[in-house]
Amino acid sequence: MDNNIGKRIKSLRLEKRMTLKQVADKTGLSISFISQVERSKSSITLESLRKISEALGVSPSYFFPDENKGTGLIRRRGTEEQDHSYSSFIYTNLSGDLPNPYFDPILVTLHPGDQKGTPFSHQGQEFVYILEGTLTIIFDQEEYEMKPGDSIHMESSVPHNWFNRTEQPVRFLCISSSRMFLGS
């Protein structure tokens, strides 16, 4: 687990002069959980990271600074050192260092058996394209099994979540936009 993510969350929260309670109220997460994440005592799911990101007014990729930044135009294959591994997923930020991006492309690998979380909503839209494995998506109380080559483009304001209920890893491309980044 990247121990710095908690430090980055705490630093941004303090910079925005927000209390743990304010972040908890905006995210629906407990104060103790957020505190444990900030102190690197607890792992974070992509769902929780998305909630915290939205509460703090940033993209989830904000918490994954790219040590090997380029021009913002091209990201070369073989830059795996930019992956961030957590207990239930691996997150690879595919964007360069373009300031204030309108969307966030990420490559997500969900480990086998990830069945946690409840559907949630946030601003913007998401596009998900399955590369490997079988991804279960819950969207507006409907459940869909998606296989390689399948995709979904959805309004993120509709409750949704994804799971890997199989014994194999699932890899997918997720491109998300947030209206807060588009100025609306």
* Percent of the chain whose pLDDT exceeds 70: 75
144 CB contacts (<8 Å, ≥6 apart)? 136, 137, 138, 152
* Percent of the chain whose pLDDT exceeds 90: 33
pTM for the whole thing? Answer: 0.65
Q: With a cut of 60, say whether residue 25 has pLDDT above it.
A: yes
Q: With a cut of 80, say whether residue 52 has pLDDT above it.
A: yes
Q: What is the pLDDT of residue 184?
A: 33
pLDDT interval class at 135 (50, 70, 90): very high
For 158-184, how does the pLDDT look when each residue is reduced to its tens digit (9 = 90+)?
A: 888 888 999 999 999 999 886 444 333
Phi, psi of 13 (to 5 degrees): -60, -45
Q: What is the pLDDT of residue 156?
A: 83
Q: With a cut of 60, say whether residue 142 has pLDDT above it.
A: yes
How confident is the model over 29-48, as a mean pLDDT?
88
Q: With a cut of 70, say whether residue 132 has pLDDT above it.
A: yes
Q: Which of 79-83, 94-98, 134-138, 145-149 comes out lowest in average pLDDT?
A: 79-83
Question: What does the block give as tokens for 53?
Answer: 């990101």
Q: Rounded to an integer, what distance in angstroms lies between the CA atom of residue 164 and that of residue 46?
A: 13
Spell 88-105 as b/e; 16+ CB within 10 A means b.
bbbbbbebeeeeebebbb
CA 4 remoteness from chain centre: 16
- Domains contained in the chain, CATH given: 4-62 (1.10.260.40), 69-182 (2.60.120.10)
Higher pLDDT, 98 or 129: 129
Contact 121, 144 (CB under 8 A): no
Contact 174, 127 (CB under 8 A): yes
Contact 156, 124 (CB under 8 A): yes
Q: Which residues, listed in sequence order, are joined to residue 170 by a DSSP beta bridge? A: 110
